[in-house]
Amino acid sequence: MVLLSIIWKNFKTISKNFLLLAFLTVMPLMQLYLINVTTVNAAAEVAESINSGFVEIFIVSRIVNNDMLQLYAAAILTQFLLMTSMIAGAYIVTEREENTMIRVCVAPISKLKVLSGILLGHSITVLLVALVIISASYRFFSVNWGDSLLNLIAITLMAVYVATAMAFIISGIFRNSNVAGGVMSIVVIAMTFTSGGLIQSDKLEKVSNFTINKWISDAYLILAEGGRLRDISLNLTILALIGTLLMLLASLLYRRENVYE
């Protein structure tokens, strides 16, 4: 029951920040809109300007550009999920700044329970953000996310797990919420770039395997192509391993006795 209180409080704290939530849901949709306009619609206009006799060229163009939209949708969703998770994780620094962490630490609960409560509270928020992005992109831009909601939830939760673990580490190192938030944003953008989420490049192909974005967005793409749980099991396993490793590192950081300061 104490765990539920922590989960609920953390969910409520972030969900009260309407501006942040609006930013995290509207921004990716805006990006998708721009990509849609500049790629798919532009291709359609070119195709339509050609005489209707050349039907074959028109169809090929649309398929290629729809694939591109799928690709970007997965990358953008991944980027914003990681960003949401990290921002949520940064609330630990705010707790320290507001001195409330000391009160939580003197309560008769283990640190593990406190961290689990924060992680689960954030997961609900991130799941909601993901739900809005997925359903709005499906509705307005016809982005295909596959037909398995459970698999989508599985990969989203794994993304939250890894990102929150990273956020715990960064929050454990930096004492100022602005600095921690800045570092987290840089990490997410750098990973998005390296994973090929911003530009497609052969040079980034090998490096991208070392980013968590790559494994998350690939899983979304596999699901979009009709993949099943077994098709994304490698992605889930790799993400689980990375997440657990990061969580272990974070737990070492949070084992120190003045963690509340």
Partner 1 sequence: MSIKLTNVVKRYDSKLAVDQVSLNIQKGEIFGLLGPNGAGKSTIIKMIMGLLKPNNGEIEVQGLDIKKNSIEIKRLLGMVPQDIAIYESLTARENVAYFGSLYGLRGKKLKEAVDEALVYTGLLDKKKEKPKKFSGGMKRRLNIACAIVHKPEIIIMDEPTVGIDPQSRNHILESIKELNRRGATIIYSSHYMEEVEVLCHRVGIIDHGRLMGIGTKEELKSQMNQDQIILIEASDIRFNVIDEIKKLQGIINVSLKENTIEIITKNAQQVIHDVLFVMGKENTLIRKFSLQEPNLESVFLTLTGRKLRD
Give the interface with partner 1 as residue ranges (CB under 8 A): 1-2, 5-6, 9, 12-13, 16, 98-100, 102-110, 257-258, 260
Nearer to partner 1, 12 or 228 (CB): 12
For the CB of residue 100, give the shortest distance to partner 1 in the complex, in Å: 5
How far is residue 77's CA from residue 120's CA, in Å, rounded to a whole number?
20
How far is residue 121's CA from residue 108's CA, in Å, rounded to a whole number?
20
Nearer to partner 1, 31 or 116 (CB): 116
Nearer to partner 1, 16 or 206 (CB): 16
Q: What is the dihedral of CA 35, 80, 229, 64, to 10 degrees?
A: 10
Nearer to partner 1, 106 or 199 (CB): 106
For the CB of residue 248, give the shortest distance to partner 1 in the complex, in Å: 22
At 98 the three-state DSSP class reads coil
Q: E strands, the chain, where?
A: none
For the CB of residue 32, give the shortest distance to partner 1 in the complex, in Å: 31
Which structure tokens are listed for 243?
């997440």
Nearer to partner 1, 49 or 258 (CB): 258
Which structure tokens are listed for 45?
């206009």
Nearer to partner 1, 76 or 119 (CB): 119
Q: How far is CA 224 from CA 71, 142, 164, 246, in A?
A: 10, 12, 25, 28
For the CB of residue 170, give the shortest distance to partner 1 in the complex, in Å: 22
For the CB of residue 97, give the shortest distance to partner 1 in the complex, in Å: 10
Nearer to partner 1, 53 or 108 (CB): 108
How far is residue 254's CA from residue 111's CA, in Å, rounded to a whole number?
8
For the CB of residue 107, give the shortest distance to partner 1 in the complex, in Å: 4
Is residue 185 classed exposed, middle or buried when 0-12, 13-18 and 19+ CB atoms within 10 A define those classes? Answer: middle
How far is residue 203's CA from residue 214's CA, in Å, rounded to a whole number?
14
For the CB of residue 129, give the shortest distance to partner 1 in the complex, in Å: 19
Angle at 84 between CA 91 and CA 1, to 5 degrees: 55
Q: How many helices (H) and strands (E) are present in the chain, helices listed first?
A: 12, 0
